[in-house]
Structure 1
Amino acid sequence: MSQSHSQAHRSSISQHSHSVSQFINEVEELSDAELIKQVNNLKQQIKILYLENEILERTIIRLDPSLLHGLQQALEYATKLQSTSSLNVGSFVKSQTSKFNMDSLISPSRMLTSPSRVSTKRVESSAKVSGTVIFGTGPRINVLERSELVSTEMEILISNLEKARSKAAKKHALLKAQLEEIGVRVAEVEKAVEMFNQVVLVEGWDKIAQRIPAEIWIRYMAEWMKITDSQIGKLRLRTSTLNTQYSKLKGQIKVKAELSESLRPVDFEKLKIENNECLEIIDRKFQQLGELKKMTGDANLNLTVHKKAMMEQNAYLADIFETIKTKQKQTVELDKERAVIERQADSLEQQLAVVQKSREAYIAPDVLEYTRARATAADLRRSVALLENSVRVQQNALAALNNKLGIIIIN
């Protein structure tokens, strides 16, 4: 085993020195622009190889992590082997690399690239066989297999991302609910403190005794306890309702999960047939609904016409009722007037009867007697006027005598 190992080591050193010498010869034939382009290509290929190695490592860890047990020892051995081969060809490399820095191109963990060919050589694969690391040519991975590995890793990453996103959303909702609860508690505490300051410290302060009476404090605490008990009862009722709803929804989810486990493709086909039948029924119902809408539109049109006619009839009927009320009021007023006129007519009939009786009993006097009566009445009026004048004169004289008598008595 040690002999095969030394042979493999010598063959590796010879191949490495031959590739390095070939690479140095080809580098001397390149211009600066081509060399920069080649270096950029190497960097891009190294980046791609790094991503491929990372995906392969993820795949191996996911499928069989035991395959990576001897990988670190293989990498360390490859590094030592690469360092040994570099020392053997160091004198030749130093003479040819005075202008170029080859440390970045000849790396123990990267592939050697030929500038004349854009394709890259694989890094020698390693495997751990009976505790000894042996270098050989491993199986190649084609483009389809790489694409499949990348797709699988992307699906896994997307699934993990969705799980993390769902977990973060749940945590965010929980934190938001906790913040809302803390905000409600803070508002209630601030409200309680404000009420306490207003009721106990401000309104309960006794200016005469310069203190807060204990009765106010006890009464406030008793009222506050009553309010708290009522709120606790409401919250308990609400909590019980929410727990009932939660248990109900949990049972529904459990039933749906059980049903989803017991479903078969035949059930989906049956459900599909039932859905098609339901869609046909829905189409028929939609057609019937369209016909019913058309009939409803015609009925609404007829209803509008009859409603308009009915409104006109109602307006005409309202006018008739108003006219009837007016006529009734006029009838009442006319009845009152008729009663008054009847009373007036009765009184006038009575007066007429009296006048008729007086007319029947009246006898026209003689003209001479009438003249004498007129003369007698004129004489009597003159006599009355003379008597009134004499009375006024006597009253004035009496007043004067009374005045004189009063003056005399005072003296």
Structure 2
Amino acid sequence: MEVILKKEEMGEVLNEVDFQQLKIENAQFLERIDERNQDLLQLKLTTGDTLQVLNCYKKRLQNTMVESTHLAREISVRNDILQRIELETEQVEQERAKAESINKKLRKQLSDYRVPDVLEYVQEKMEQEELEKNVRTWERKVEIVELSLKTQRRNWEQMKAASLMQEYGQLH
């Protein structure tokens, strides 16, 4: 409408055909604008859907990152545990080897061990008891000699003291 007024002001008068032509062009432009608006609206809807999908993927990515961090820590902890278990296994294997070596030695000793005959055992037992009896007898004899020695020392000390007393008495 503005275009028409400007043209009228300039001295140009539009005829009816031109006016109809402008109306048709205007309607076509309005139709195109509506189509573009529909396209824009469709693009906005698609953008909204895409943003929702994008946000969903971002959330999934965030959850996956958190889970990945957690799993990395879990893997690290399990690796540490595995290393400790391997060390303990190595120590246990060494201890087992030592125990097996000792066991072999003991089995060899056991296989080499000879049990004495009953009569031989009884004879050795009797000899042992006889030796123990002799030891007790000697111990008693030693005690008697020690007591006798103590008594003699005491007597000697008394005689010495008496002698000193006599000498002291004679000097005064």
Given the two structures, how large is their TM-score scaled by the length of structure 1?
A: 0.24
- Structure with more helix by fraction: 2
Which structure: larger Rg?
1
Higher relative contact order (CA 8 A, sep 6+): 1
Given the two structures, how large is their TM-score scaled by the length of structure 2?
A: 0.49
